[in-house]
């Protein structure tokens, strides 16, 4: 249940801060503490038992959504919890009780939930979904101030991100056509993979490069 809680805590905080905007800063701090504790518990479980996998609602893939945590994902979740916790503390003093803070907290909590879901995704289509949720939250945060420069930057980011999404999704289609699965646990021997598999990886990598603005 720990992987689900790591996603659910900031997601619930996002809903709460929409319903009760004045509680945004305290909800953010409380969520940061709870999420950090849950991530630490998951890291301990991975260290003791090895990789942790769960299926949402008990439904097995491809009908259900699988969450998977190994050493790498636990480490990424830990780094995210540390950085996000620092951002949350800083944002509380930076925004104060301004009107902007009421828009910031739901978006920030939603972005954090999407980022945690990204690290726990067990297949490449759910990676795509979480990347889209992450990108939309980030675009809204870029435009948060409402100035012309912020809106212009947000629109550029949105267009580049959508282009990257289309390229990535094309790579996912190639991947599924070759393997018949979307899971990340397949094994491909170098030299034996068809050209379409190489094309899938190139397209997905190019899409991620665009979405992450690596240029």
Residues 103-130 pLDDT 10s: 899 999 999 999 999 999 988 888 889 9
pLDDT above 90 covers a percentage of the chain that reads 52
pTM of the model: 0.88
Cα separation, 91 vs 93, whole angstroms: 5
Adjacent-strand bridge partners of 68? 53
Given this model, what pLDDT does residue 197 score?
82
Q: Is the pLDDT of residue 97 over 90?
A: no
Cα separation, 10 vs 114, whole angstroms: 9
- What is the mean pLDDT of the segment spanning 35-41? 96
Hunting for tokens 């050209």 — which residue is that?
195
pLDDT band, very low/low/confident/very high, at 177 (cuts 50, 70, 90): confident
- What is the mean pLDDT of the segment spanning 84-96? 90
pLDDT digits (tens, 9 = 90+) for 189-209: 545 567 778 888 899 999 988
Given this model, what pLDDT does residue 63 score?
66
- What is the sign of the dihedral through the CA atoms of 83, 85, 86 and 92? positive
């Amino acid at each position: 249940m720990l992987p689900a809680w790591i996603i659910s805590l900031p997601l619930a905080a996002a809903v709460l801060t929409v319903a009760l905007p004045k509680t945004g800063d305290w909800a953010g701090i409380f969520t940061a503490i709870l999420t950090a504790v849950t991530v630490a518990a998951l890291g301990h479980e991975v260290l003791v038992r090895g990789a942790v996998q769960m299926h949402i609602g008990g439904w097995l893939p491809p009908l259900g959504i699988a969450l998977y945590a190994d050493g790498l994902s636990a480490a990424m979740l830990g780094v995210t919890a540390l950085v996000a916790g620092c951002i949350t503390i800083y944002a509380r003093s930076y925004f104060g009780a301004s009107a902007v803070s009421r828009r910031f907290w739901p978006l920030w909590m939603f972005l954090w939930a999407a980022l945690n879901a990204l690290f726990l995704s067990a297949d490449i289509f759910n990676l795509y979904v979480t990347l889209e949720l992450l990108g939309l939250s980030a675009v809204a945060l870029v435009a948060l101030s409402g100035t012309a420069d912020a809106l212009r930057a947000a629109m550029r980011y949105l267009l580049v991100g959508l282009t990257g999404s289309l390229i990535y999704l094309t790579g996912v289609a190639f991947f599924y056509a070759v393997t018949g699965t979307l899971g990340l646990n397949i094994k491909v021997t170098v030299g034996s993979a068809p050209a379409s598999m190489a094309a899938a990886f190139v397209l997905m990598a190019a899409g991620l490069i665009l979405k992450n603005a690596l240029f």
